[in-house]
Amino acid sequence: MDSTATATILPAADIPAQPTNAPIPPTIPPTIPPTTTPIPKETVWPASRVTAGAMIYDPNSQHIFILGGIRRIGDYEGLSEVWAYDPNSNLWQQKGDLPTKIIICAAYDEESARIIVVARGTYKDSATWAYDPVTDQWQEMNPEIVPRQRYGVACSYDAESDRVILFGGTHGLQPYNPYGDTWTYDYNSNTWTEMQPAAAPPPRSLQEMAYADDSDRVLMWGGVLDISTGTEDLRMWAYDVNTDTWESYPNNSNNTVSWYLFGMVYHPPSDQLIMFT
């Protein structure tokens, strides 16, 4: 008989696990790389429209305001909506309604921090409203003297003189009798003044105006002189409210593109006008 002892080794799986007090290491989740996909913003914005009654930039809130507009051709009643756009958050917010649906022109008065709106009033006279973007409140100004009611007007705020400058427009298309008058509005005294320049641009409507800080002039471009022939004035006009004088500059670019129903703004850093039609 063989006296050599033998032992059988059990598989590791059959050996019972011994208890341990060692801590279990935490599970580290995999690193997720950053994504460049933009987070979708709120899908709330103004409805489409043929044209806005006015689009105004408020430098205090850094918001862009859309006032009213016409949704489709032939809808002459217009929209009463007011929208504010914040470029920083890429969000639109609907504000309180307009007190009037037909806006003739509008400009931001920096000194009073109000949007001055010239709107449809009586059959003969226009109405003047002031909008406070902070409180979302409208105030009808009811100045004693106002420009005649008209359409296709241009207006701009002159920061140096603290006045809104208004020029031209027409009471209707048939017959087409455009205006060639120049008006200024002072919010602080609530007064419109018809200026009396010795020479002025030809009467017109559908032109645009913008204030140039560098030269302290209100610049005017485009518009229709005669609707039946489509006659236009392709000169640039500059108005100095301090001397009540208009000055014209020839069109050296030989640009013959029709300039009406277009947009125009002044870009201070480059001292240039930017136009889009």
**Interatomic CA distance for residues 114 and 131, integer angstroms:** 5
Most confident of 78-82, 144-148, 256-260: 144-148
User: Per-residue pLDDT for 209 more than 90?
Assistant: yes
| 255 inside domain | yes
The string of pLDDT tens digits covering residues 37-71 is 454 445 588 988 888 889 999 999 999 999 998 88
| 30 inside domain | no
**Interatomic CA distance for residues 222 and 205, integer angstroms:** 9
The 3-state DSSP class for residue 12 equals helix
| 2 inside domain | no
The string of pLDDT tens digits covering residues 73-120 is 776 678 899 999 999 999 999 999 999 888 899 999 999 999 999 998
Instruction: List the CATH number of the domain containing 220.
Output: 2.120.10.80
- Contact present, 118 and 130 (Cβ < 8 Å): no
Which residue would you say has higher pLDDT here, 251 or 57? 57
Assess whether 91 and 212 both reside in one domain: no
- Contact present, 83 and 94 (Cβ < 8 Å): yes
User: Per-residue pLDDT for 1 more than 50?
Assistant: no
| 18 inside domain | no
In the chain, what percentage of residues exceed pLDDT 70? 81
Instruction: Please tell me the predicted confidence (pLDDT) of residue 70.
Output: 86
The residues, any chain, with a CB within 8 Å of residue 123's CB and separated by 6 or more, are 149
Instruction: Write the single-letter amino acid at 19.
Output: P
The residues, any chain, with a CB within 8 Å of residue 184's CB and separated by 6 or more, are 158, 161, 163, 164, 165, 166, 192, 193, 195, 241
Assess whether 170 and 108 both reside in one domain: no
Q: For the chain, how many structural domains are there in total?
A: 2
- Contact present, 47 and 66 (Cβ < 8 Å): no
Assess whether 138 and 52 both reside in one domain: yes
The pTM of this model reads 0.81
* Least confident interval from 20-24, 177-181, 202-206: 20-24
Backbone angles phi, psi at 12, to 5 degrees: -60, -35
**Interatomic CA distance for residues 178 and 172, integer angstroms:** 8
The residues, any chain, with a CB within 8 Å of residue 266's CB and separated by 6 or more, are 210, 211, 212, 213, 219, 272, 273, 274
**Interatomic CA distance for residues 67 and 82, integer angstroms:** 5
User: Per-residue pLDDT for 17 more than 60?
Assistant: no
The residues, any chain, with a CB within 8 Å of residue 229's CB and separated by 6 or more, are none
Give 202's DSSP letter. Answer: P
The band of 171, judged by pLDDT with boundaries at 50, 70 and 90, is: confident
User: How is residue 90 written in tokens?
Assistant: 């890429």
Give 13's DSSP letter. Answer: G
Instruction: Give the end of a domain, one of 123, 148, 173.
Output: 148
Assess whether 193 and 98 both reside in one domain: no
Angle 232-209-198 (CA atoms, 0-180°, nearest 5)? Answer: 75
User: Per-residue pLDDT for 271 more than 50?
Assistant: yes
Range of the domain at 275: 150-277
**Interatomic CA distance for residues 83 and 93, integer angstroms:** 6
Query: What's the Cα-to-Cα distance from 141 to each of 59, 118, 169, 191, rounded to whole Å?
Result: 23, 10, 21, 9
User: How is residue 241 written in tokens?
Assistant: 């409210």
Instruction: Please tell me the predicted confidence (pLDDT) of residue 37.
Output: 46
Most confident of 73-77, 158-162, 228-232: 158-162
- In what side-by-side order are the strands of the sheet with 191-194? 154-158, 163-167, 182-186, 191-194
